[in-house]
Amino acid sequence: MRIFRNIYFIISFLFLIFLGNNYYKYQFDKKIVFVDKSKEELILYFNEICLGAEYGNSKKVTRKWKTPLNLYIVKDKNYKEQIDFITESVEKINELVSDNFKISISNDPINANGHLFLCSDEKLKTYPEPFKKIFNNVNKNSFGFFNYNFRENIIHNTSIFINTSKPIEFQKTAIIEEITQSLGFGNDSDLYSNSVFYQAKYDTKKSVLSFSEFDKKLIQLLYNKKIETGLNRLETEQVLREIIK
């Protein structure tokens, strides 16, 4: 019996270690409640990235597309490597989104609802309005930039800039980040260095050419049909806890 008792204590001890590593522990009314750590971290990260935008003073609520994005690429040279990476990034995003949304590369600049400019910051200054005003704050230090317009928190067009005067690895880093941010992921973060939303990647000379697991989950969550536009932090937390398993 002593042997079985010892085995029981060992198993119980190991189980508690597992809980400590994977769950937050809270105590309410002398009862211990375990909350999934990864789930809570994902919810916090979602709200940091998806509520509002890093530019301007817009409300901290969810925004996303409700119609397909037809993206036209404006370029002054061939840029085959960059175009290939844009296509690859779009394909990755389309594998993750739902809610009747997808991105298509368009050959029609007039009817496109998104324009991606592949050029130097100097060349960008030569393009006419409304793009001159949109990219007014871009300078030689800019790696990339995005802007989207929305009505009732539904995004209806976007303008993206990729600075081709920068090294190719950082052009690609800007491509995957700026395209993704233009979909409603408006903020950067210092939390995860393997994320396309990592704030310090250019300062630390770190290229990020693919989505992290958290990035993929954020894209899937924002473009889940249960996530409506205009949700604030408290509302997203409630809905996300229902969605995330």
Tens digit of pLDDT for each residue in 123-146?
999 999 999 899 999 999 999 999
Question: Which of 8-17, 111-120, 143-152, 202-211 has the lowest average pLDDT?
Answer: 8-17
* Alpha carbon distances (Å) from 223 to 54, 78, 98: 20, 33, 6
- Which residues face 197 on adjacent strands? none
Arithmetic mean of pLDDT, 95-103: 95
Q: How far apart are CA 44 and CA 39, in angstroms?
A: 9
- Tell me which of 42-46, 50-54, 176-180 is least confident: 50-54
Alpha carbon distance 222, 65 (integer Å): 10
Q: What is the pLDDT at residue 196?
A: 97
The mean pLDDT of the chain is 87
Task: Give the pLDDT band (50/70/90) at residue 12.
Answer: very low
Longest dimension (CA), the chain: 85
pLDDT of residue 37: 56
pLDDT, average across residues 30-36: 37
**Backbone phi, then psi, for 157, in 5-degree steps?**
-160, 160
